[in-house]
Amino acid sequence: MDLVRCVIRVERSLPILLGLAACTTPQAAPSPAAPTPPPARTSYLDASASFLPNLGFGLGVGRVVRSTPAALGSVEAQLVYQFLDDEIFADDGNPKAGPWYQVRAGFKRTSNPPGPRHLTTRIGAVWLRAEGEPNVIQDEGNYAGLYAGLGFETDLGPSLSVGPELTILGITRTDGFSVARPVPQINWHVTVPLGGGPRRTTLERLPLGEIYLGASGIFSPGLGGGFEVGQVFHRGGLATWSFEVLAEFEPTGDRFYFNGDGKWAQVRIGAKTSFQPSGRGHWTARGGAVWLRSTAPNDLLDQLADHIGAYGSLGYEYGLGRFTTGPELNLMLVSFEQETVFHVVPQLVWHATVGL
């Protein structure tokens, strides 16, 4: 009887013990959900300023076909019309290049959808027509090939993204096979969404000056000035990095290092580093590629023609709000386009920029 009573007590207590065990047993925490990208507008309009081999603009449309936390994938079609030749800025006596028509179709990948800055890559096919005596490819006609581009974009609002891109076109004539010619091109894109998707309502607030415009005064070989545009692609505790394009001109004469009349024009494309950007005063360094044309005799160059090369500079800037100004000592190492003899061209430049 004692054994029977014990079994009955255990049976009656078992549900209570099981309930206590269930309450006290630790439950596995649910795994955190993977971050989701912000809602992507399915279609967008793309406008761009286009540099090289001429100057012009582009228009395009795109559609997002794939969205993940890591990247957005899009299909795109673009038209590029370059109608301004460099002879407009500095005529060296050669015939002007004709307009450049370009059609591109391909794919775009945009990284880091949740963040304010994105790395962009583009690949696809291109058809173009170059008229007159075109720069770089030299021969008029129809061309086709492939393109690949690398750039970055910054979201300046829920419906506006801006950023530059370096593209390489590998093209050959359509009327007969020939070795593909690489053609560099820079496009500064402005992208706005079209209807058909939810707006991005949350956006990390970026500091002022993500894009900046400016003017510069320049000395050597003569006196002149120019304008510049830049965009920040990285901000760190020690330095801020930007992409820049600077165009500068000098009307020449019998002064300083010029020995006759003519013109001097140059374009610099590269990167700028601002050290200790949190302070009002900070050192700067610049470096990249340069193209220049001189049509006036001078003491620095042997040939009155186009020169290409590299530049590097060190400067100091003082900032007050959105306005920044300061000097820069620039050294250019350039060569006549058909020679390998290099010349050093020193310059003193004073910059004044305003952040947008």
Band the pLDDT of 321: cuts 50, 70, 90.
confident
Answer whether residue 82 shows pLDDT above 80.
yes
Architecture of domain 211-355: Beta Barrel (2.40)
pLDDT tens digits, residue range 35-78?
555 555 589 999 999 998 899 999 999 999 999 999 999 999 99
Q: Which of the residue ranges 171-180, 181-190, 206-215, 264-273 would you say has the lowest mean pLDDT? A: 171-180
Band the pLDDT of 11: cuts 50, 70, 90.
very low
Answer whether residue 168 shows pLDDT above 90.
yes
pLDDT of residue 136: 83
Q: Would you call 254 helix, strand, or coil by DSSP?
A: coil
Band the pLDDT of 91: cuts 50, 70, 90.
low
| Rounded distance between C-alpha atoms, residue 187 and residue 52, angstroms | 9
pLDDT of residue 276: 79
Residues in the chain: 356
Question: What average pLDDT score do residues 257-262 get?
Answer: 79
Answer whether residue 19 shows pLDDT above 90.
no
pLDDT of residue 110: 96
Locate CATH 2.40.160.20 in the chain. 43-193, 211-355
- What CATH number does the domain located at 43-193 have? 2.40.160.20
| Rounded distance between C-alpha atoms, residue 232 and residue 46, angstroms | 20
Q: Which of the residue ranges 7-21, 32-46, 117-131, 222-236 would you say has the lowest mean pLDDT? A: 7-21
Band the pLDDT of 188: cuts 50, 70, 90.
very high
pLDDT of residue 217: 95
pLDDT of residue 6: 40
| Rounded distance between C-alpha atoms, residue 191 and residue 167, angstroms | 17
Question: What average pLDDT score do residues 232-258 get?
Answer: 86
Q: Is residue 80 within 8 Å of 55, Cβ to Cβ?
A: no
Chain centroid to Cα 7, Å, comes to 81
pLDDT of residue 41: 57
Answer whether residue 90 shows pLDDT above 90.
no
Sequence-ordered list of residues with C-beta below 8 angstroms from that of 178, at least 6 positions apart, any chain: 172
pLDDT of residue 200: 57
* Residue burial 197-212, b: 16+ Cβ < 10 Å; e: rest: eeebeeeeeeeebbbb
Band the pLDDT of 24: cuts 50, 70, 90.
very low
Q: Is residue 282 within 8 Å of 316, Cβ to Cβ?
A: yes
Q: Give the mean pLDDT of the chain.
A: 84
Q: How many CA atoms lie within 13 A of 334 on its CB side?
A: 27
Answer whether residue 327 shows pLDDT above 50.
yes
Answer whether residue 93 shows pLDDT above 70.
no
Question: What average pLDDT score do residues 301-305 get?
Answer: 81
Strands 263-275 and 239-251: antiparallel
Handedness of CA 145, 151, 152, 156 (dihedral sign): negative
C-alpha distances in Å from residue 73, one per residue of 109, 153, 154, 302, 328: 5, 15, 17, 50, 41
pLDDT tens digits, residue range 200-235?
555 666 777 899 999 999 998 888 999 999 999 998
Query: What is the percentage of the chain residues whose pLDDT exceeds 90?
Result: 53
Strands (E), the chain: 43-51, 55-67, 71-84, 97-111, 117-132, 141-157, 160-173, 181-193, 211-219, 223-235, 239-251, 263-275, 281-294, 306-320, 323-336, 342-355
Question: What average pLDDT score do residues 181-191 get?
Answer: 93
Band the pLDDT of 154: cuts 50, 70, 90.
very high
Answer whether residue 319 shows pLDDT above 80.
yes
Handedness of CA 176, 180, 182, 185 (dihedral sign): positive
Answer whether residue 14 shows pLDDT above 50.
no
